[in-house]
Each structure stands twice: as C-alpha cells, then as structure tokens.
Amino acid sequence: MLRRSSQFALQTRKKSSLALPKTAPITRKSQDEVEIAQAPNRVATWSPSQSSKDRIIKTNVRFVGKDLTKQPNPQAAIDLIAQQPIRYIHNNIAVCSGTDIFQGHPKVYINLDKDMPGTCGYCGLRYAREELKDKLKLYKAKEPLAVITAHDYITGRIADSSEKMDIILIGDSLAMVSKGYASTLEIPFDDYYYACKSVLRGVNQKFVIADLPFGSFEASVSQCVESAVKLMKLGKIGSLKIEGGYEHGEQIKRLIEIGIPVTGHIGLKPQQFNAAGGYRVQGKKARDAANIIEEAQYLRDIGCSMLVLECIPHKVAQYLTEKLDIPTIGIGSGPGTSAQVLVQADLLGMLDSPTAKFVQKYMDFHSEAVNAIDRYVEDVKSGSFPNIESHSYPIKEEEFEAMQKILQRDH
C-alpha cells in the first residue's frame, strides 16, 4: 500500500557509518600482547596492508639498542581525518584535492548520488549533499522525520511546497489511489515509470524515494538492475525501495554494488498480500516478531540505508529502531520509528473510500471538491457564472462595430 531513501538515508550501514570511526579501545588482551602501540591514538593496526609496529621493533635489527623515545611517533591519520566535519556541497559531484589552500593530492571526483557521505580515497575527507544536512541533524537528534507520498505532478508540487516536509515517496500505492487498480500488483512498470516522471517534474527541493513495483525486479538480478537504472536516470531520486527481505537479497546487494541506495520494506508487504492472507498486522506472535527483527538486521547488514516498517506492533517497531543504526520509516507501526509516512490521498481525504486504522485525515478533500463542483454547476445554470465584469475580456465598441462591417462586406 505504501509507499523509501535514501533518505535518504541519512545514516549508512556499519561499514559506511556517518559516525566518526572510534579509536580501538585498549583491552586487557591488547595490553598483554601489544607493548608498543601503533600510534599514540591507536593500539593496533587499522588496515590489512599495515605492518605491526610492535612486531617490527621487536624483530628488526635496526631498532636493537635504539632509544625508542627519540623515534618518530605520529598520531594515526585515520582518527585525525575522522575528526574533520563532513563538507556539504550543493551538487552531486564533490572535487577533493586534500586541502582548500593548495593541492595536497591529485583531484578526486566523488559521486554523492547515494544518501550518505562520500569519502575521498586519498585523504579520507567526507562530502555530502547540502540537502542531507538537516535530515542528518534531525535523525541524530532523534527528532521524527515526516514522509509523504506523491502520485502525479500536482501532489508532487504540494508535497514539495511544504517547507516542513522532509521526504517524498513515490509509492506504488499510486496504482490504487491514482490509477484505479484494485491492488498494487496490477500496475505495469511503464505506467509507474510515467507517474514518476510526472511527480519529479513537480519536485525540486525534497529527497525522493521511489518504489520498484511488483513484476519489475523479482525475476532476476538483471531485470532488477534494468528497472532500477531506468528509474534512477530520471534524476532527483535518492533511493529505491524494494519490498521483501531474504528472498530479494541478491537484487538488493547488486543495486548497492553499482551505487544505487536501497530502502528496505518489511512487516506487511502489500506486494505479497496474497501469500500473507490479506492486509494483516505482522509480528504479533513472538516468533513472527523475532523473524521481522532478524530480517531487518539482514537488510541492514547487506547495505540497506533505510527501512520501511509497515503494520507491525509499536513495541516491536520501537525495539527494532533502537537496535538498528539506520533510519526506520513507520506506517501503522506506532510513534517509535525514526520517521512516519502516509499516503497523500489518504491524508487529504481525496477518496470517499474507507481508510486503514493508522490513517489520520487532515481534511476531507473529496467532500469539499464535490461541494465546490456542485456550486459551480449551480452558478452556471443560474447565469451567475461567468460574470461579465469579473470573468470576461472586453472589446472596444468601435472595434466591434468595425468587425460587423467587415462581416457584412465579406458576405
């Protein structure tokens, strides 16, 4: 029913965390085994290609009888670099030369399409798009993020015009609320693709997540990549959302390998509602709840940068959010997630059909629209619309008389 980012992600999985790398603690084991620290701020090596300073000094004849206090002992650059703040820029390509004053290394071009900071391979400085700054601050401060769907140009413009809105999701729910299908399973990929183009024409400021609709990725990894690349080439999309977990692991891993951020979706999976016995709350039993948490951890570990949690008990959603180090987007999963999302058509009351328990309607657009149309019809039939003074364009009397003469002459 729903529908990712990117963020946005706003924080990456462990191996690409936005948090600063931590100095390795001096454990009892390391104190016993390492007498000479690798650096003043690092006990042991931090790279597989690095040689142990402790081992070299103990075994290399060059250091026999030497006063080690007079040997160079610089701090580990990895921690010094990590203390540098993320540098935010206004486009998707960062150019790093190691310093703002003079060229410290050859220029490196860093792709920032992912919903996470990019790191320079030479010096380790980190860069990110400016639009991620506020989302990152909110997530780190544990302030809830707001997400809303959009299904065409108008709803895209409405969502983008809200200064308070954080993320826009082009959900496959548009199949039902915009295209009139009975379920999200029925919409062809091309229909969804053209809806995305329409939404994106109305969005210029917000982080955007888009779905991979049913039938566009399940058959094979190559089908998934083909569909994903086609959507990403539209521009403005920061993350793609895939419903499912273990069963789509290879597809998810491949997208991340080629640089496409993925938002996972677990709990109720509307694209699989037939197998689930309908649109039901998931995770109400202990084993089922544990399965959801394990699946979430799996998706985090393979690289998902955000997770949608749909229709799971609020305690399970909160527990999972506290355990993971990536943002969670809840729908029908209580207030304990990192973000909340609603379908814009439900939120605005665009349809006259019943909505789910978790939906909060903030206006009755459908009733107000019908009433407005009825008033328009009444004005037309009564002759009060259009009004000559307010709604019509004049012509000078002499020009009108001249027109009549031209017509008489022509005939």
Tell me the three state secondary structure of residue 301.
helix
Cis peptide before 386 (omega within 30 of 0): yes
Angle formed by the axes of helices 189-201 and 153-161, to 10°?
40
Catalytic residue list contains 186:
no
Q: Are 264 and 258 in contact (CB under 8 A)?
A: no
Q: Annotate 230-279 with DSSP letters as a single string.
A: HHHTTSSEEEEEEEBSGGGHHHHHHHHHTT--EEEEEES-GGGTTTTTSS
Q: Which of 404, 250, 248, 263 minimizes the C-alpha distance to 328?
A: 263
**Amino acid letter, 203:** V
Catalytic site residue from 35, 131, 310, 401: 310
Query: Residue-wise over 76-89: b if at least 16 C-beta within 10 A, else e?
Result: beebebeeeebebe
Q: In degrees to the nearest 10, what's the CA dihedral of 278, 228, 249, 289?
A: -40
Close Cβ partners of 156 (under 8 Å, ≥ 6 residues apart): 150, 168, 198, 199, 200, 201, 202, 203
Q: Which of 200, 264, 201 minimizes the C-alpha distance to 237?
A: 200
Cβ neighbours around 360 below 10 Å, total: 9
Q: Which of 76, 69, 80 minimizes the C-alpha distance to 39?
A: 76
Burial of 169: CB neighbours in 10 Å, binned 0-12, 13-18, 19+? buried
Distance between CA atoms of 395 and 14, rounded to whole angstroms? 71
In terms of DSSP bridges, do strands 145-149 and 339-342 run parallel, antiparallel, or are they unpaired? parallel
Distance of CA 31 to the CA centre of its chain: 43
What's the start-to-end Cα distance of the chain, in Å?
A: 65
Question: Active-site positions?
Answer: 310
